[in-house]
Structure 1
């Protein structure tokens, strides 16, 4: 029953987002003509806010944009991934010339070389000048466009940090060229590739062979996942691959789960709070943007601190809660918890009581605060 409900939520989410899309035509000097764009801003986007968002460029935006934005927004709603700014490039009428390659060296030539430069020299600078985006960029493509996105990896400094290649129609020598390039990467790159049992046969054969090559790469900077879906064709595998790819790319970003709590938080030598600090520093280093502390992680660190009787960690995480959520019951609850564990019952009661006037959160409501107050009074 859970899968149909999740699918329904995703479809409703995508429908809402479509109504919020900005449609505009971009006149390119590199191509010599215009390209139609679809742009989706993060929920609650504020140009005055300094928050920077990952940029997702979607090739074949005519049909690939909507499943990408639907999946991204759905996972961002649950705080599994960051809010992203997504740009789709419509290519229905120009696809062949945009994505073609030379029969001599199998690299972009003439029209496709111009399209390649359009993205790097015009589109991305334009988006960066107009919106708050980070240097963490993702590119998504399907069959011909899934092959085309690989060319950005061959730049001295790859333009994108993450590549989602769905049933790629790979150019000759692409698999061996990718292997040679990816072995020498000196910065982190995510690469996702997918095919399926009912994919177009010639594409499936080449994709499976490419996977064998990429699987041999021994480079800590290369983060790779391959999926070979069952009971899916060339088109339906897109709906299966996109959420898998997004999940893989943002693994480090995800909230603390049960296994991370048990295996890492509770056993971290520096204590729960220092683990929290390191986790958020690693996210910023890895992705190039800051993650705002979330309630789930504060709750996990506070619980671990209490379990380990680590009062310093509990005090520090309660201060984070107060700073990040001043208008929420979160701030009062964890400050109250700290003073309760310290034995300062009067101060703990003051904080629990003050929380009654604040907004409830996902995990904390009025009844929880009242229960704490009754316990302490008894």
Structure 2
């Protein structure tokens, strides 16, 4: 495994860092994968369009849609890392998932229609996968799509409910999974669709979270009509489409590793500035030991990210790699921000908007959000079972 960057990649990193410093739409106030306030969306759309135009997003797309066949496979990781390092907004929504599905499984007509609008950020996409009874067990989804008509007039009529839809309130399009054959086995009979979120029968209801913000939504689908031409891939083969596109989320893992390095530095500064018995919290040996332990884990996480990138380059990825990385990151992130909140003591109760709050209440917000990372993308308890079964080949858990 090679950990040091090549001179070419290091030069690219400096170039991206300068671009981000010049064009980014300000600092992202909250930790985690969050939805922006509505008034921020025009600036974020413009910022996203600039990233695509500069060739920093959609690098691995087909050349006719703006990709570069000579691009290094690690370029998307560098871009994601530099956006995270600057603590600014990454592109919001599920466009990376939707574009991956369209590029691999879509028709020429679909690619020509949707991909340019993703690049210009005229369309923000959301991911309509999870349901109240199908979160970590996505194959249990029950939203139904029944076909009506034939030929050019054919449509699918969709009824059901989705939940935990990040940025659903901002989305123009939805990447939807629905069951088209209720009699087929669990992982079959599911079809992927491109859904216009302005269609009659689509209702988005925001979910107010413990952080006080609205990042997730419920989405209700009541006799929503989707043209058959908006089926992505083959009918009843949506599971394959979804699993393939989910594999294109790798760069976000690198961004999270960078986030932890940034937050570790911020934790150290916080300890230096927290007064304790005539000195600072960093003068206390127990505090230094805890920060040292967290620093060790942060650098182990960075090594896991590097290993994942190396295996991706050499096509030696293993089924459990992403699962292990997600569990390690999410639990480390929780422990790091929890310790930051403990350092603040009673001041940790002060939240965003309070004039006396340290870092405008960032540590409290990050702590309240941290548990979401252990659930999103599959609850850690479920992922441990998958590691045992798929990664270690242990006997399957009784169903």
Q: TM-score, normalised by structure 2?
A: 0.21
Instruction: Work out which of the two has the higher radius of gyration on C-alpha atoms and give 1 or 2.
Output: 1
Query: Under a length normalisation based on structure 1, what TM-score does the superposition of the two structures give?
Result: 0.22
